[in-house]
Amino acid sequence: HKYWGLLPGTTGDRESMEYITKEFESLGLTVEHFPYTLPEYFRPTDWSGSYTTADGQTVNLTTVYPAAPTTGTPPEGVTGEAVWAGIGAAPDYIGRDVKDKVVVIYSVFVPGGRSHSASNRARLFNAETRAVELGAAAIVTIMGVPGNGQFQSMGGKREVPHFSLSQDEGFALRDRLATGEKVVMTLKLEAP
């Protein structure tokens, strides 16, 4: 399952339970099963992200990952010019038109590990809310951890599609934007 396969209700969850049941029974333990109805929970089924450079090259983003929760996109996705917004504090938006564009924000984890600087939960910059208020079509948060890992950005309800991106892929994008190159991003998300 593309969205972290061991979550309750997924095929990965069922396969794990079957394996654990067999192992317990092989030890002579009795396994009891109780029915449980899962509450509605954000669980996207598919997503992708890419950008097109000024010379027409398409770069597929392998570490793009949907934030939880967030809204889905139309089947064709959301396409817009990428705009770098730094850490997303109020001064970072001065002179930047982000209406109908993909806002790219750099964020670092804050103490406790359950939040990051761009999220509303951290109460540092409220960068995500600010991007929505200024009319962003989508948000991409570059997670400030060296490497090419995937991260799930957590936060409140989002009115626009929101994704995280690894630092390696994010900095490659940032470096293109730093030259003044026009970069057009396309993000797709199938979500309930």
Q: What is the pTM of this model?
A: 0.82
By the 8 A CB rule, do 170 and 105 touch? no
Q: Is the peptide bond before 66 cis (omega within 30 degrees of 0)?
A: no
Check pLDDT > 70 for residue 149: yes
Tell me the pLDDT tens digit for each residue of 68-115: 888 899 999 999 999 999 999 899 999 999 999 999 999 887 777 667
Would you state the structure tokens that stand for residue 96, as one six-digit string? 């930047």
Share of the chain above pLDDT 70, in %: 91
What are residue 65's phi and psi, to 5 degrees?
Answer: -145, 135
- Taking phi over 0 as left and psi of -120 to 50 as alpha, with beta for the rest, 56 belongs to left
| pLDDT tier at 34, thresholds 50, 70, 90 | confident
Closest CA to 44 of 14, 20, 73: 73
Share of the chain above pLDDT 90, in %: 57
Q: Averaged over 152-158, what is the pLDDT?
A: 66
By the 8 A CB rule, do 50 and 58 touch? yes
Check pLDDT > 80 for residue 2: no
One-letter amino acid of 68: A
What integer pLDDT is reported at residue 57 of this predicted model?
94
Closest CA to 157 of 124, 101, 119: 119
What are residue 23's phi and psi, to 5 degrees?
Answer: -65, -45
